[in-house]
Chains A and B, each alone.
Chain A
Amino acid sequence: MDDVKIKDQAAHDAAAKVADYEHGWSADIETDFAPKGLTEDTVRFISAKKNEPDWMLDWRLNAFRHWQTMETPDWAKLNVPPIDYQDAYYYAAPKPKPKLGSLDEVDPEILEVYKKLGIPIEEQKVLAGVEGARRVAVDAVFDSVSVATTFREELKRAGVIFLSISEAIREYPDLVKKWLGKVVPMHDNYFAALNCAVFSDGTFVYVPEGVRCPMELSTYFRINAENTGQFERTLIIADKGAYVSYLEGCTAPMRDENQLHAAVVELVTLDDAEIKYSTVQNWYPGNADGLGGIYNFVTKRALCQGKRSKVSWTQVETGSAVTWKYPSCVLNGDDSVGEFYSVAVTNNYQQADTGTKMIHNGKRTRSTIVSKGISAGKSNNTYRGIVRVAPNAEGVRNFTQCDSLLLGSLSGAHTVPYIEVRNPTATVEHEATTSKISDDQLFYAMQRGLDAEEAVALIVNGFAKEVLQQLPMEFAVEAQKLLGISLEGSVG
């Protein structure tokens, strides 16, 4: 443990030196590491740490064995140096503590971390009994292990299950078994298989039939241990006629070495159910010279299994050195609806290859895709999407709009839409634009009193408005600020 403490101290010092990333600091919390490297023993270690049942361990080992036979995908427009999977830690958890009844019992240092992130304001209000405070339940994932889940009792009264996935595996094995890996199969892709083998924690939500979740659910998590990949696993199930809005917000402290993040998010909607899933991703993008930063290889997919069900993905991606992410909808239920609203900002040497897949299998299924890419510095920003209409899917509609905004002359914007229509009754529309922030716009805004960075932030927020207005209020404000922050230094 001394070794770990030294490591953390060194990390702390390193982080302190580089202060220009707002969330770039590292809290000094004793960490419990799995041994470095990735073998079957690592998988067994993680499973044992989490007191998992045998079926879960077998599932993980199955995934791990398959992963070893797979190749890293190389079709994205990303330039990623080879990742040494043996040179990383796969598990880091705060030291085990007795089960917590309230936030008071949480390690004050962890609470301090949340405070710096600005998380608990709403929550504190509620805890302090402030009347009329908007209620948001936060399942806080601190480096891999969920340390505190609030509002669980109230949610329980409504019948909503909101737990860390580790707890869900122990407490609701039948539900987990039924759906885990059903939306994103274990063999789906390289990073999904890796996640299946080593996922450390994540979130589980089940909203029962006919229940409208009484509050927005929110998970904030951050990568906080040096050189530790974070492998999140999220599973959200909305039963017939249920509704839930889920907010995912992420920041990570600054590191010099690239950190791998390979999450899997699975959503399931049954008849007439709806899930609204919103993400603001603000992970460390690397410095202005392209050093460091998070590698974010995420598989997010929704299964609209039920008739008239709906899933809406909204994402604001400003962070990470590399983003590989395609939140998708498999529209199996007749008349089901998929939506994807995305803003992706890249600056300096960031690379983003992101988009969506809308798979129309059911009749009269509809999808809307609105993607806004903003590229500055020497970055590359790619929209990649598939709209697929199955032969039996009558009366499908899709509308896609991809807009790119360029700042400066060294950045790149790319749009790669695949449209595969196998039913002649489908209506599929695709619109795309590419524009630059003009000198005229900048000077106009500056002449009215804004400095160069304020002017860029304003113009970019206008460009992204259609997407930002899809976000829940408290997220929209944060997202607007983030857009401005991420583009700092992009105008001379």
Chain B
Amino acid sequence: MLKIENLHATVAAKPILKGLSLTINAGEIHAIMGPNGAGKSTLSYVLGGRPGYEVTDGSATFDGADLLDMEPHQRAAAGLFLGFQYPVEIPGVSNVQFLREALNAQRRGRGEEPLSGGEFLKVAREKAALLKMDMDMLKRSVNVGFSGGEKKRNEMVQMGIIDPKLAILDETDSGLDIDALRTVGDGINTIMRRPGKAVLLITHYQRLLDYVQPDFVHVLAAGRIVKSGGPELARELEEHGYAEIAA
């Protein structure tokens, strides 16, 4: 589904990714772990197409199409969802309005009919119930006045409604208490652990992986993947730290 080869990227002319390669197939959950400054967030932004993150070499394809050639909204329409480390506030725009417009823009991009207000609300209610979320959250302005945990849960609701093929979740577990962590973990499992879908979890810590069992774990250090393995690698990292493993 996602094939990254020898990816080099710079931010403000500073090289951050230096030859990263990674292949994710449908049905797989991958975790990327690594120390601060390794390039984890840069990887998610490069894949999402954020302006200012410049690819200088290498390639990335999504379902065979050149991902790096697409605008951010085209990547979204193709089925790529980015869960943000710091979800952004949009005052005056309700979650319902935001998601309906976003979803319908994606559907237009794919040549599908837009959902009516009623159809959209039906989908939203189903997803909110699935994630045990309060519909009131969807009526509030996007992330405005949300606690850190609420923002992350809101990302999960958005993911549920948008229903992407590939979710790249950037430190979705940071700032969560145990209950919220479980909710988020359940959300990922419920929405994304399905045939034809895949997840790339970007995280510092093992603890989210207690709730979402990865099929593969990679260690990112200094802009490259230095080690890959199964779920046991995450526990090794937790015990021994990055310095030893990445060395």
Which A residues are within 8 Å of any B CB, using their own CB?
Answer: 438-441, 443-452, 454, 458-459, 461-466
- The minimal Cβ–Cβ distance linking B82 to chain A, given in whole angstroms, is 5
CA distance in complex: A447, B48 (Å) = 7
Task: Tell me whether A449 and B102 are in contact in the complex, defined as CB-CB below 8 angstroms, given that A440-B88, A462-B93, A463-B92 are known contacts.
Answer: yes
CA distance in complex: A443, B45 (Å) = 10
- The minimal Cβ–Cβ distance linking A481 to chain B, given in whole angstroms, is 13
Q: Which residue of A lies closest to B52 (CB)?
A: A439
Verify if B101 is at the interface (C-beta below 8 Å from A).
Answer: yes
Other A-B pairs, 5, CB within 8 Å; known A447-B75, A448-B98, A449-B105: A448-B162, A449-B77, A449-B109, A450-B102, A452-B73
Which B residues are within 8 Å of any A CB, using their own CB?
Answer: 48-52, 71-73, 75-77, 81-82, 84, 86-93, 97-99, 101-103, 105-106, 109, 141, 158, 162
Interface of A is mostly: helix
Contact A451 B90 (CB under 8 A): no
CA distance in complex: A439, B86 (Å) = 13
16 contacts between A and B (CB under 8 A): A443-B72, A446-B76, A447-B49, A447-B50, A448-B76, A448-B98, A449-B73, A449-B103, A449-B105, A449-B109, A451-B73, A459-B90, A459-B93, A462-B90, A462-B93, A466-B92
CA distance in complex: A462, B91 (Å) = 6
Q: Which residue of A lies closest to B89 (CB)?
A: A441
Q: Which residue of B lies closest to A464 (CB)?
A: B92
- The minimal Cβ–Cβ distance linking B168 to chain A, given in whole angstroms, is 10
Task: Tell me whether A443 and B92 are in contact in the complex, defined as CB-CB below 8 angstroms, given that A449-B105, A450-B105, A462-B141 are known contacts.
Answer: no
Contact A447 B51 (CB under 8 A): no
Please name all residues of chain A whose beta carbon is closer than 8 Å to the beta carbon of B90 when the two chains form the complex: 441, 444-445, 458-459, 462
- The minimal Cβ–Cβ distance linking A370 to chain B, given in whole angstroms, is 12
Task: Tell me whether A451 and B98 are in contact in the complex, defined as CB-CB below 8 angstroms, given that A444-B87, A458-B90 are known contacts.
Answer: no
- The minimal Cβ–Cβ distance linking B218 to chain A, given in whole angstroms, is 23
Task: Tell me whether A448 and B102 are in contact in the complex, defined as CB-CB below 8 angstroms, given that A443-B50, A443-B51 are known contacts.
Answer: yes
**Residue among A438, A454, A458, A463 with the highest chain B CB neighbour number at 10 A:** A458
Contact A454 B105 (CB under 8 A): yes
Query: Lowest 4 CB-CB distances: which A-B pairs, in order?
Result: A462-B92, A462-B93, A448-B102, A465-B92
Please name all residues of chain B whose beta carbon is closer than 8 Å to the beta carbon of A451 when the two chains form the complex: 71, 73, 105
Please name all residues of chain B whose beta carbon is closer than 8 Å to the beta carbon of A444 when the two chains form the complex: 84, 87-88, 90
Contact A447 B82 (CB under 8 A): yes
Please name all residues of chain A whose beta carbon is closer than 8 Å to the beta carbon of B162 when the two chains form the complex: 448-449
Please name all residues of chain A whose beta carbon is closer than 8 Å to the beta carbon of B84 when the two chains form the complex: 444, 447
Contact A445 B92 (CB under 8 A): no
Please name all residues of chain A whose beta carbon is closer than 8 Å to the beta carbon of B51 when the two chains form the complex: 439, 443
Contact B101 A454 (CB under 8 A): yes
Specify which of A441, A461, A463, A464 is in contact with B88 (CB 8 Å cutoff).
A441
Contact A446 B71 (CB under 8 A): yes
CA distance in complex: A458, B90 (Å) = 9
Task: Tell me whether A448 and B93 are in contact in the complex, defined as CB-CB below 8 angstroms, given that A440-B88, A443-B51, A443-B72 are known contacts.
Answer: no
CA distance in complex: A439, B81 (Å) = 18
Contact A449 B76 (CB under 8 A): yes
- The minimal Cβ–Cβ distance linking A339 to chain B, given in whole angstroms, is 19
Q: Which residue of B lies closest to A372 (CB)?
A: B92
Q: Which residue of B lies closest to A450 (CB)?
A: B105
Contact B93 A461 (CB under 8 A): yes
Please name all residues of chain A whose beta carbon is closer than 8 Å to the beta carbon of B50 when the two chains form the complex: 443, 447
